[in-house]
Amino acid sequence: MASPPQPISGIADFLADPVESADFPQTILRFRNDRAAVSVGLDGLTDDQWIAHFGRFQPLPENLPGPLALRYHGHQFRSYNPDIGDGRGFTFAQLKDDKGRWLDLGTKGSGTTPYSRFGDGRLTLKGGVREILATEMLEALGVNTSKSFSLIETGEALQRNDEPSPTRAAVLVRLSHGHIRIGSFQRLAMLGQTEELNRLAAYVIEHLYGETPSDQPALRLLEQVVQRTARLAASYMAAGFVHGVLNSDNINVTGESFDYGPWRFTPFWDPEFTAAYFDHHGLYAFGRQPQAIHWDVVQLAIALSKVADIEALAPILDTFPQLYEAAYANAMLARLGVSPRGDEDDLALVQAIEAGLATRTVGIDRFFFDWSGGRRRPGPYDRTYAEHFGAVEALLARYDPIRMTDHPYWADAEPCSMHIEEVEAIWSAIDEKDDWTPLHAKVAAIRRMGEAHRWAN
């Protein structure tokens, strides 16, 4: 466990407000991520200790003395909102992981804060279950994501307008590589706090990027964010994932995906597929995610122009499309399990895969499952592949595999997927019968798939 002082303490004066957690009627442990806990030295906690820290929020030894609700602004569906911040969560602790990185333990559903506005500061149990499924699946597919660390049911009945109510409540703890968002910088820029802008940029560079800040931290910050978010956008596309709410307050400057609400995995390659029922114009549809993330990064550059010349920031911004294209090719080939050639064949192969998948004759997960390692396995989609994926097969003959396919997963009849019907079935078992077996079985299946994807020569 890390020793004090935790880095966030040095910037809490302008970044956060001390808050208290809600006092829940019950604390029933439903999920503990021991795999993630190992990485930060917390796997030895008993269940009672776990509940005390992550349900009652007793401070961890030699850590932050109390929770901190972070302040930020942000563009929400392209409209600037200065009235947001951590409205139902807080940063509870900072720990170093087994790679020497500083990580945050943050909450969702832990009670009201100064930024709750008219909200109750709570999280539905279904929302917590959905976040577990999202983060586990994304991690298995190689997406840089926060980890669902703990889920504790709290015994409260919540009223929600968009789902059957009253519904059960929970508090979620996530393990994340920082909770500093583009919106954190937007707030400081809007308030004209230029000294704090530079301090926050230096904090991110030193404690989240592991570098020594220069006398121009804003430029290095933007350079890193452009690179990291280009990779994030690419990984979403390769995973067939739709985040749903890519507002600037939901974009972490570490390039780590987090804060899952109306997420979905698209079954087919459908650029118009939209996750959020309230995204009426498809702003954050599957195929628009790279553009949406790039737009958010532009807002970061605008904020940083308070402390750096726009002439120096603009060329860094301009590298996003090229970085995304390269990252996208690498992400698609990584999911396929072949080594990039580093030439024009990579782009041609990705375009051929897109063209085949765009026919919607085979699902995204099924395609990558059947072609893992770059060689097609025989099966029920032989005719489809012969008709629509001939260019893919011809190009793949030039590629070397980077994944062994003798892991037992590759002998399964179907790929491990995470579509809305299964999410709802898992929740129904919990809601109607208090049966958690399907959730824990699905997490085990996802982790087995992740192991198979990492099965290397």
What mean pLDDT is predicted for residues 64-81? 97
Q: Is the pLDDT of residue 2 over 50?
A: no
In 135-229 the beta strands, taken as DSSP E runs, fall at 147-158, 167-176
User: Whole-angstrom Cα distance, residue 113 to residue 120?
Assistant: 9
Per DSSP bridges, beta strands 241-242 and 28-32 are unpaired
Q: Is the pLDDT of residue 454 over 90?
A: no
The pTM (predicted TM-score) of the whole model is 0.96
User: Whole-angstrom Cα distance, residue 354 to residue 100?
Assistant: 38
What's the pLDDT score for residue 43? 96
What does the pLDDT look like over 252-262, one tens digit per residue? 999 999 999 99
What mean pLDDT is predicted for residues 17-28? 98
Q: What is the mean pLDDT of the chain?
A: 96
What mean pLDDT is predicted for residues 251-278? 97
Q: Which residues does the annotation mark as catalytic?
A: 249
pLDDT band with cut points at 50, 70 and 90 for residue 334: very high
What's the pLDDT score for residue 308? 98
SS3 171: strand
Contact 370, 385 (CB under 8 A): yes
pLDDT band with cut points at 50, 70 and 90 for residue 456: low
Q: Is the pLDDT of residue 266 over 70?
A: yes
User: Whole-angstrom Cα distance, residue 75 to residue 32?
Assistant: 33
Q: Residue 260 — φ and ψ, nearest 5°?
A: -100, 120
| Token output for 144 | 């840089």
Cβ atoms < 10 Å from Cβ of 178: 26
* Residues pairing with 91 in the sheet: 68, 106
* Residues pairing with 106 in the sheet: 91, 174
| Token output for 223 | 């350079």
- Count of helices and strands (H, E) across the chain: 16, 12
What does the pLDDT look like over 196-228, one tens digit per residue? 999 999 999 999 999 999 989 999 999 999 999
CA distances from 88 to 1, 110, 114, 118, 140 (A): 26, 6, 10, 11, 28
Cβ atoms < 10 Å from Cβ of 370: 21
pLDDT band with cut points at 50, 70 and 90 for residue 295: very high
pLDDT band with cut points at 50, 70 and 90 for residue 161: confident
pLDDT band with cut points at 50, 70 and 90 for residue 457: very low
Contact 121, 112 (CB under 8 A): yes
What does the pLDDT look like over 342-375, one tens digit per residue? 999 999 999 999 999 999 999 999 999 999 999 9
Instruction: Report which secondary-structure segment, H or E, holds 455.
Output: none
Instruction: Report which secondary-structure segment, H or E, holds 236.
Output: helix 217-239
Give the percent of the chain with pLDDT over 70. Answer: 98
What mean pLDDT is predicted for residues 319-326? 98
What does the pLDDT look like over 83-138, one tens digit per residue? 999 999 999 999 999 999 999 999 999 999 999 998 999 999 999 999 999 999 99
* Residues whose CB is less than 8 angstroms from the CB of residue 361 and which lie 6 or more positions away in sequence, other chains included: 381, 384, 387, 388
User: Whole-angstrom Cα distance, residue 213 to residue 207?
Assistant: 10
Instruction: Report which secondary-structure segment, H or E, holds 219.
Output: helix 217-239
What mean pLDDT is predicted for residues 322-335? 97
Q: Is the pLDDT of residue 8 over 90?
A: yes
Q: Is the pLDDT of residue 251 over 90?
A: yes
What mean pLDDT is predicted for residues 34-60? 97
pLDDT band with cut points at 50, 70 and 90 for residue 390: very high
